[in-house]
Amino acid sequence: MSNPALRDEVVQLAQALIRLDTSNPPGNETPAAELLAEHLRAAGAACELIGPDPSRLNLIARVRGTREGPSVMLMAHTDVVPAPTDGWTVPPFGATLRDGRLHGRGAADMKGELAARAVALAEYARSGERPAGDLVLVAEADEEGNTADVGMSWLVREREDLRCDYAINEGGGILLDLADGRRVVTISVGEKQVSSLRVRVHGTAGHASVPAAADNPLHHAADATKRLLETEAPMEITPVVTRALEALGAPAALSESDAIEWAARLHPILADELPPMTRLTVTPTGLKTYEPSNVIPPYVDVICDCRAVPGQDEDDIRGHVAGALGDGYRYEMELLEPLAGGTESPVDTPLYEACREYVAARLPGAELLPLVSPGFTDSHWVRGAFGTVSYGFAPVFTMDLDAYFDGVHGADECLDVADLVEMTEFHLHALRVLSR
């Protein structure tokens, strides 16, 4: 980084954020929002703490636009998942610097990224540059829990003024060294839809002392679980997947499924992420009965996690489950909540170009690789409410990826300081390019 003061600033801010325990539950994100507000106010940004729960406030920091031009939102959540001390070799909330890495809960997901976005906006504000459209940082509560309706879900409903043209959030920017020597950098442009499903498998109740007299539904539920685990939904190639295969240079002669297999061999992360991008998954994650242990229950609930590709609906889930289970026993199914998420942003945008340009300058020859995330991020809220073009992108170009991904929601979470600095530079670049 050309300016060593910015490096110190982003490291210190990330450390201060990590030292505030915002484990969710319960969250208690307000001190993190206050810390950021103090930092950004000193730089000249207008700051507002807001939310329905005083202990879980969100920060909106804004540098006002001065003329016609696109508005840009930098997003990051202030909460973290809890940090059981098992497996940690440093205190989870100590923000230890060791071997060029910043350690602690949230270093990677996502207080490092949050600090980088805040410092980029602070630097922009201090520079006296006058943006075209508004530049906004939203530091939101409750992303990890996503059930209390105090964070982004609340903000998009209550604050129409958060409507922005572009948003940058978590979920991409990972440099992948491919098996054939080429390099790509991921950018998350969409998300799968998420729901959960209850398949209630029936039998007949009875006393466990005379097991032969009952039709034990556990027998059927075990079979249903096995069938759901073994049945793959048909492949569904969305435009993003087509574009990803193009970016990877998949040979045109290959069938879709061969192209996915070919691409999966290029990198272990692609082997993990590409197949779920192309199919509905219905994954059993629990079995429930509601009787004491001496009763053969009348039914068993098979609880499943459902992830549908953008464009699919409840009928696709029902059709898949019915096909997997056949008609050997009685069951009914119910979605436990409506399908949520599943939004996608187009890639022919100035923000995509700003990311591509940054990657091309920093890593000559590397391509951007658009992906659909199997998980759920707050990008979904701004895409859904405002039609904002939102991408997951924050450069991780230096850090060992195994250590990076092991730490996210795991022990010894850490981020290479070089990447923290890189993230700051990237966001400053994006703000300057988009606010011209």
Active site residues: 79, 143
**Looking at beta carbons only, is 123 or 144 nearer to Zn ion?**
144
CB-nearer residue toward Zn ion: 170 or 301: 170
Write out the H or E segment, with its range, that includes residue 207: strand 206-207
Residue ranges in 190-249 that form contacts with Zn ion under rule CB under 5 A = none
Q: Min. distance of Cβ 321 from Zn ion in angstroms?
A: 30
What is the chain's alpha carbon radius of gyration, rounded to the nearest angstrom?
24
Q: Give the CB-nearest residue to Zn ion.
A: 109
In this structure, the number of other CB atoms found within 10 A of the CB of residue 220 comes to: 21
**Looking at 108-116, 213-221, 281-289, 355-363, which segment touches Zn ion (CB under 5 A)?**
108-116
The token duo for 370 is 């658009």
- In DSSP terms, 176 is beta-bridged to 184
When asked if residue 110 is in the footprint of Zn ion (CB under 5 A), the reply is: yes
* The binder of Zn ion chosen from 9, 29, 53, 109 (CB under 5 A): 109
Stretch that binds Zn ion, among 92-100, 104-112, 156-164, 236-244 (CB under 5 A): 104-112
Q: Can you give 37-92 as a three-state secondary structure string?
A: HHHHHHHCCEEEEECCCHHHCEEEEEECCCCCCCCEEEEEECCECCCCCCCCCCCC
Residue 425 binds Zn ion (CB under 5 A): no
Q: With CB under 5 A as the rule, give the number of residues binding Zn ion.
A: 3
Site string for Zn ion, 143-172 (x = CB under 5 A): ---------------------------x--
Rounded to whole angstroms, how far apart are CA atoms 41 and 46?
6
* Cβ nearer to Zn ion, comparing 238 with 379: 379
Instruction: Give the nearest distance from C-beta 37 to Zn ion in angstroms.
Output: 21
Does residue 115 interact with Zn ion by CB under 5 A? no
CA dihedral 223, 226, 228, 229 (to 10 degrees): 170
* CB atoms inside a 10 Å sphere around CB 187: 25
Produce one character per residue of 161-186: b if its CB has 16 or more CB atoms within 10 Å, e if not.
Answer: ebebbbbbbbbbbbbbebeeeebbbb
Q: Give whichever of 110 and 250 is closer to Zn ion, judged by the CB atom.
A: 110
Question: Least CB distance from residue 147 to Zn ion, whole Å?
Answer: 15
The least distance separating Zn ion from the CB of residue 428, rounded to whole angstroms, comes to 22
Q: Which residues bind Zn ion (CB under 5 A)?
A: 109-110, 170
